Amino acid sequence: MTQTVVITGASAGIGRATAQLYGRRGANVVLLARGSTGLEAAAREVEQAGGTALAVPTDVADHEAVAAAAERAEDRFGPIDVWINVAFTSVFAPFDRISPEEFRRVTEVTYLGYVHGTMAALERMKPRGRGTIVQVGSALGARGIPLQSAYCGAKHAVNGFTESLRCELLHDRSGVRVTVVQMPAVNTPQFSWVLSRLPRHPQPVPPIYQPEVCARAVAYAADHPGRKQYWVGASTVATILGQKAAAPLLDRYLARTGYDSQQTGEQQDPDRPNNLWQPVDGEHGTDHGAHGVFDDRAHSRSPQLWASQRIGPLAALTGVLLGAAAGLAVARRRR
C-alpha cells in the first residue's frame, strides 16, 4: 500500500533528501516548512521521482499550524503512516551573546517543534493503534559543544521527551512506535543561513556526511522502528560513547578545539541574512536544495550505518566464524 509520510523541515537538508527518497518510493509525501521557494521545489522533486506531494507552509513552533497541517494531510491522503520531525534552527555564538528571545526561538522550533509534530501525529495514530514517529536527533543531543548551547539544549530535550513517550506507549501496549536517529555533522544549507556571531563562516565539525546518508537512515528507522535509537556515522558513535566514558576529557578537548573546528578560514559578513525569525528562501527567494557548500568534503556513504543496520546477521556470522575457529582449534589439539 502507498505510504503517507509527513516530513517537517522538508525544504532543505536532511528533510529535503528524505522527501526525495520517499518520492522515489512512490509515497504520498506531505512537506512542512516555512520557506515557500524551497518547499515548492521539494514538492516538484517528489512528483518527478514518482511520488505525490502536498506542500503545507508551516512554522512548527506554532502548535495550531502543525495540527492544521496534519488535518490537511489526512484529508488529502488518509491516515498518516510515518511522521518525521526534522525542522530546526540555531544560533552560533557564545551563550552570553545570545539574547533570551533568540534562545527561546531556537527552543520553540528545535524542541517544541518536535513536541508539536509528535502531538499531532499521536492524536491520529494512537486511536488506530499504528503508525511510526521518527525523531531526527543529533550526536549533540548526547554531548554538548561550545557555540551551540541553544541547539544542544533542544536536542538533549528531544531525547528525554522521546524516552518518556516511549515508556508510555509501552505501558499502553500501543502499536505506535517512536525512534530516534542520531546524526553526525551533515552538509546542509544551515551553515550558510544560520544566525551566527562568529568572525568566520560556520562549518560542520568534520567528518561531514551528505544528507542522503541521513535520509537512508531515517527511512530505515521508519521501516524498522523497534530499536530505540539509530546512530549514523562513526563520529556519532565516538561522540556518544566518549561522553559516557570520558566526559571531563571531552570538556577540555572541546574547550581547546571547539571554536576553530566550527569555522572555516573565510571571513563572514556580519549582516548576512539568517533564518531564525524568517525563512531566507521565502516567496521569490533562492532554493538552497538539500546540500550545503561542503560537497567536496562530505562523505556519501557510512560503513558504520551499513553495519548497524545488519547487526543481527553480522552477529550471527561472527558467531558462526568464532564457532568454526574454536572447532578447528579443538581438532588440531586432538591431532
Tell me the catalytic residues. 151
3-state secondary structure of 101: helix
Distance between CA atoms of residues 81 and 222, nearest Å: 9
Torsion of CA 39, 43, 49, 52, to 10 degrees: 150
Helix axes 36-49, 13-24, angle to 10 degrees: 20
Phi and psi, residue 210, nearest 5°: -75, 150
Report yes or no: 172 and 125 within 8 Å, Cβ to Cβ. Answer: no
Rounded to whole angstroms, how far apart are CA atoms 260 and 96?
Answer: 18
Q: Helices 13-24 and 211-223: crossing angle, nearest 10°?
A: 60
The rounded distance, in Å, linking the Cα atoms of 46 and 29 is 7
Contact 134/84 with Cβ under 8 angstroms? yes
Long-range own/partner contacts, residues 303-309 (CB < 8 A, 24 or more apart)? 303/234, 304/231, 304/232, 304/233, 304/234, 304/236, 304/237, 305/213, 305/216, 305/217, 305/230, 305/232, 305/233, 308/230, 308/231, 309/220, 309/224, 309/230
Q: Which of 43, 29, 55, 66 is nearest to 219 (CA)?
A: 29
